[in-house]
A and B are shown apart, each in its own frame.
Chain A
């Protein structure tokens, strides 16, 4: 394992990999501090370009670099203009913005960067520590267990990622159906292609991702149109913010642990990691009367957790091939395209890639924090860019990304179809992440199900591992539904 760790580090520390990682950090940070454009949209735009790259380490450096740091820079708009830069920085507003109004924006920003750094380092460390535990577990699994695991991942995302569990599950199933479109190579049957040769090769995941995430986000951004009402100067206290994190180091580590746990569970994403950490802080800290009015601990906790969450979401992605969230689902697609096979191989023959990912997560966070601290003033100004400078450029990138999928005008037509679908889903409260995950996992699920059926008939349903996983699946689907009916966990955000 040590050899793989060293090999992974060496591959990441080459000038080319470092340059790609820095590019990834720059893009991830840019997306973070421009409110309205989320990490999944950026990754979806990047997919067609990275999938033609030959070197897996380059893809790791670029995509993991983007993914690792989006939450660091998203603190800028949350603190300065009370608009979340990303889903993981919503709770930061509660105390970050009042601090900015009080003239302590610099203190809030430096505290958030330092907390992000701690979270970004603790996360990969725990991912590293989990490898020896995961290895024997993953190697003991066969196709029936993997089928139930993929089903579990899909069900978890469906149940937890939206406001209506049943809608989420149906969206996930629809995603699997989309993945079946095209010619079935084994039977030669044309599935849902309606005699159209363009569809024989299936629907590109890039088009689905860009359509259901990219365009609806642009529509939201264009519809918002609002100008920023209040603008706050950075003020002083930059050094004090850094010291605040060390004064509250135990809180920072605890919040990071919460982030990792949230990331590990497929379906719970950044959007809840920060709220869970914030709620935990209020419940466990003393002198809580200033929370919501500009307490620096209310900035530290969410920022540490949303960065640590990214490392947590790589645990199921790498070990089982089940993405922890939308971003890791997209990264999984890129990995597969360049020869990285998430699943048992990541813990055996491709362990060096796993370590390259762990190192990238840690190093990218250090680069991102250094970048944000060094360019705090110009970045702060970017938060005030008007929508009309961002929307058309993003739309052009989305259309270019879609066209690059197959260099066919039908790609653009499908993009429009999925954009309409994504828009309707967003409008009517249907979660979009399960649909994307269904498309990502569909082919694998079908393969595992078919292998299980041909090898074991229906007896695979009685394998002890399958029975245990089915019980866990049912429990994790029914428990949130039951809790939701009691107005439980999903109301954490409202409670705080």
Chain B
């Protein structure tokens, strides 16, 4: 669908802008049809289409919530960056994660401080990044 949609959109463009999309998109659509036929035939015969992969397989977690647990942490970190800014969110995230999964107070605090120190020294001292105001500051002001 993505390929077909991209081709549809690019048809309205001049050749200079659409040539690569049209050429590769057509090949891609043909390949998709091949893949669909292959999947359908394998499904009908009950065979798995998986051969030996050259990439390590994804880990299937034993946790009750599966990968949702780590995804929640990532989403929370993402939200925290918006809410309180990088400088606070990074050490807070490292500290909370380490402490939750078994790290001691000292280790968690040390790792949190390392993360905070790294962000501060890189962005504030070295790169002088003009931070966008965090959401919480905007709300208060």
Contact = CB atoms under 8 A, between A and B. Distances in A.
22 contacts: A163-B53, A164-B50, A173-B27, A174-B2, A176-B24, A177-B3, A184-B17, A189-B13, A222-B70, A223-B70, A225-B61, A393-B111, A395-B73, A395-B93, A396-B90, A399-B77, A407-B130, A429-B53, A431-B54, A432-B55, A453-B15, A491-B52
Contacts of B9: 192
Contacts of A392: 93-94, 97-98, 111, 115
A74 to B, nearest CB: 13
A192 to B, nearest CB: 7
Which of B54, B61, B102, B129 is packed against the most chain A CB atoms within 10 Å? Answer: B54
- Closest 4 interchain pairs by CB? A388-B101, A223-B61, A163-B53, A392-B97
Interface string A155-188: 0000011111011011001101100100010110
B119 interface: yes
Interface string B78-109: 10011000100010011001101111000100
Contact of A389 (B13, B25, B78, B103): B103
Contacts of B23: 449
B11 interface: no
Contacts of B25: 173, 177
A220 B31 contact: no
Given A216-B58, A223-B61, A164 B51 contact: yes
B107 to A, nearest CB: 7
Which of A160, A169, A186 is packed against the most chain B CB atoms within 10 Å? Answer: A169
Interface of B: 2-3, 6, 9-10, 13-17, 19-21, 23-25, 27-28, 31-32, 34-35, 38, 49-56, 58-63, 66-67, 69-71, 73-75, 77-78, 81-82, 86, 90, 93-94, 97-98, 100-103, 107, 111, 114-115, 118-119, 122-123, 127, 129-130, 132
Contact of A191 (B13, B60, B102): B13
A490 interface: yes
A392 B86 CA distance: 14
Interface in A267-302: 268-269, 271-272
A75 interface: no
A419 interface: yes
A449 B20 contact: yes
Q: Give the interface SS of chain B, mostly helix, strand, loop or mixed.
A: helix
A162 B98 contact: no
Nearest to A87: B56
B55 A431 contact: yes
B54 A163 contact: yes
A459 interface: no
A215 to B, nearest CB: 7
A186 B51 contact: no
B70 A173 contact: no
A403 B93 CA distance: 16
Contacts of A269: 54
